Amino acid sequence: MLPQLRAALPRILALLAILLGGTTAVSAALGALSGRSIAHSLATGYYVVGAGVLVGSFVLGSRGPWRSDVMAQEPELAAYRTRTRRRRRKATPEERAESKRSSFGLFVLGLAFVLLGALVDPSRRAF
């Protein structure tokens, strides 16, 4: 697992930088356009993105033990069907573990954005 994490680390850091930089840029631009303070608009942006990521974590973590697979279709009937046929199968233990890891990672990321928003927020004081 460690070599996989080491190989994925540059991609994870790139996605984190894009998400953090994009949130900062959009929040600062919207704050400047609305006439609010930059710190307040940054905090609001971090809160919104953190809440969105936390909702995504909940959705990913609440997937059931069933997965769907697309069944093979006959080519002559495929033109008449608007939807493909699917069959349900039980998720493998590896798929369930991956779902839990992804959900936990999104939870940590969302919590980090909410905490970053709390640190930047000028209307809140830590002490």
pTM above 0.85, yes or no: no
Domain boundaries, position 22: 2-120
Please report whether residue 125 resides in a domain. Answer: no
Read off the pLDDT of residues 66-114 as tens digits, 9 standing for 90 and up.
Answer: 887 766 655 665 566 666 667 888 888 898 888 898 999 999 999 999 9
Q: Report the number of distinct structural domains present in the chain.
A: 1
| Bridge-based pairing state of the strands 66-70 and 86-90 | antiparallel
**6, part of any domain:** yes
Q: Is 12 part of a structural domain of the chain?
A: yes
Q: Residue 25 pLDDT more than 90?
A: yes
The answer to whether residue 126 sits within a structural domain is: no
